Homo-oligomer: A and B are copies of this chain.
């Protein structure tokens, strides 16, 4: 009796159930493994039921990405809160570590979150907003780093530099263009990022 698998004919929380199963699928078999039909199968409903909650497959991907940006923002906020007693510069480094840790621990999720097709799509402005929430933490950390005041644009540029560096580094590591032992992946990133922070502090102070 398949009817016993669910209490009622109506699932009740199908949207969240699908999102949950989709995330499991991403973690298990990578971003490409997500299909509407497989997710529906895992939840235990007809594949057509999905369309009550997601306009199309991309809408499901967008929901996964939104969840990803949100989890990333929360991870950064937690790091920021926990580093309160540290020096400003150490707080920035801690934040970068939190970013790398998040990406490395759930790399499939990270990859689907930053996937081009869904981020390009203007139908999901929520992605912009949620990503912004994470970037705001970095801006705050960088803003507090130097005694010498810098313009908002200068801080933003440094923020984009660090973000680009971290994101590109991760992609190149995953694509095997940068070869580094897995347990040293986060540490080696320091070697790349520190000169950027050094340059920022020394160059600006010198003026």
A74 near B: Cβ within 8 Å? no
A164-B168 contact, Cβ under 8 Å, with A32-B117, A116-B175, A200-B195:
yes
Majority DSSP secondary structure for residues of A touching B? helix
Contact present for A202 and B200 (CB under 8 Å): no
Instruction: Provide the residues of chain B in CB contact with A168, threshold 8 Å.
Output: 163-171
Besides the known contacts A164-B164, A196-B199, 9 further A-B residue pairs in the complex with CB atoms under 8 A apart? A116-B174, A119-B174, A157-B191, A161-B192, A161-B195, A167-B172, A168-B170, A171-B171, A199-B200
Instruction: Provide the residues of chain B in CB contact with A171, threshold 8 Å.
Output: 114, 116, 167-168, 171
Contact present for A165 and B161 (CB under 8 Å): yes
A177 near B: Cβ within 8 Å? yes
Q: What's the minimum C-beta distance from A86 to chain B, rounded to whole angstroms?
A: 23
Q: What's the minimum C-beta distance from A160 to chain B, rounded to whole angstroms?
A: 6
Task: Name the one of B157, B160, B178, B200 contacting A164, with C-beta atoms under 8 angstroms.
Answer: B178
Q: What's the minimum C-beta distance from A184 to chain B, rounded to whole angstroms?
A: 13
Instruction: Provide the residues of chain B in CB contact with A160, threshold 8 Å.
Output: 169, 172, 178, 192
Contact present for A203 and B192 (CB under 8 Å): no
A111 near B: Cβ within 8 Å? yes
Using a CB-CB cutoff of 8 Å, which residues 173-207 of chain A contact chain B?
Answer: 174-178, 191-192, 195-196, 198-200, 202-203
CA distance A64 to B175 in the complex (A): 15
A131 near B: Cβ within 8 Å? yes
Contact present for A164 and B169 (CB under 8 Å): yes
A192-B175 contact, Cβ under 8 Å, with A116-B111, A199-B203, A203-B198:
no
Instruction: Provide the residues of chain B in CB contact with A84, threshold 8 Å.
Output: none
CB closest chain-B residue, reference A157: B191
Contact present for A164 and B174 (CB under 8 Å): no
